[in-house]
Amino acid sequence: MGLLLSPLDGLAEHLGLAPTSATLIVALTHSSYAAEHGGASNERLEFLGDAVVDLAVADLIVTRFPALDEGTGSLVRSRVVNESSLARAAQRLELARYLRVGRGVHKENGTERPSLLADAFEAVVAAMYLELGYDAAKRFVQATLEPDVATAALRPGDADPKTRLRQWSESQGRGEPDYVVESEGPSHDARFIALVFVAGVELARGTGSSKKAAEVSAAQRALEGIDDA
């Protein structure tokens, strides 16, 4: 397949980057493409972007939602800085159009996977951070995610399953849950299986297309088991 699925002009202009930006191109390069064609993937940029997004959202919560205390703010942030939320942000940017992926991922429409999209969003944020500085990256993240933060702030108690399971576990004096994640299948189409333990006891198992999704699935199953007990 070609260099990119679509010309980068529109996306680059929206981000304030040059269409020829090498950093942006790496941010849009999945590991499956890098394995087939050589060069760098976006994994290191995703690692950096994760921290930038987390800080930018925390800054937004503190400065624009002063009524939220530390605990509630953490719940709001967890509902915004997660795979499903960031994947939706990537979809609004139409990042799938620009991603470089391997033949197997492309054939199976893998560019629509939430895990791949969320990672690409974080990698793009990292590209902005490296080329334009933190302030520019922060403005972009906050403008993109502020509606999600505002929605989460209205009902901060609607925590994600992992947070709810941790709160239950700690309230029972059992400490934080532990997750063990395994994968099966080829790297471009891996299936992840997560086991969640509380105080050394396995509560549930869950599956997903990413480690995060599998952990969320396991936490949700554990919560369902607790409710039925």
Other CB atoms within 10 A of residue 32 CB: 22
In the three-class reduction of DSSP (H, G, I as helix; E, B as strand; rest coil), residue 33 is classed as: helix
Question: Quick one: tokens of 78?
Answer: 């967890």
- The answer to whether 203 and 194 have CB atoms below 8 angstroms apart is no
**Per-residue model confidence as pLDDT tens digits over 206-222:** 888 788 878 888 998 99
Considering the entire predicted model, what is its pTM? 0.71
- What is residue 194's predicted lDDT score, i.e. its pLDDT? 94
DSSP per residue over 99-167, as a string?
Answer: -B--HHHHHTTGGG-HHHHHHHHHHHHHHHHHHH-HHHHHHHHHHHHHHHHHHHHHSTT---HHHHHHH
Any idea where the domains of the chain sit in the sequence?
Answer: 9-154, 161-228
Question: Quick one: tokens of 5?
Answer: 């699925």
Other CB atoms within 10 A of residue 24 CB: 25
- What is residue 161's predicted lDDT score, i.e. its pLDDT? 83
In the three-class reduction of DSSP (H, G, I as helix; E, B as strand; rest coil), residue 6 is classed as: coil
Beta pairing, strands 201-208 & 191-198:
antiparallel
Catalytic site positions: 50, 122
CATH architecture of 161-228: 2-Layer Sandwich (3.30)
- What is residue 3's predicted lDDT score, i.e. its pLDDT? 44
**In the predicted model, is pLDDT for residue 101 greater than 80?**
yes
Question: Quick one: tokens of 149?
Answer: 């933060």
pLDDT band, residue 5 (cuts 50/70/90): very low
pLDDT band, residue 121 (cuts 50/70/90): very high
Question: Quick one: tokens of 107?
Answer: 């054939």
Residue 199 DSSP label: T
Phi-psi region of 6 (alpha: psi -120 to 50; beta: other; left: phi over 0): beta
Q: 9-154 adopts what CATH topology?
A: Ribonuclease iii, N-terminal Endonuclease Domain; Chain A (1.10.1520)
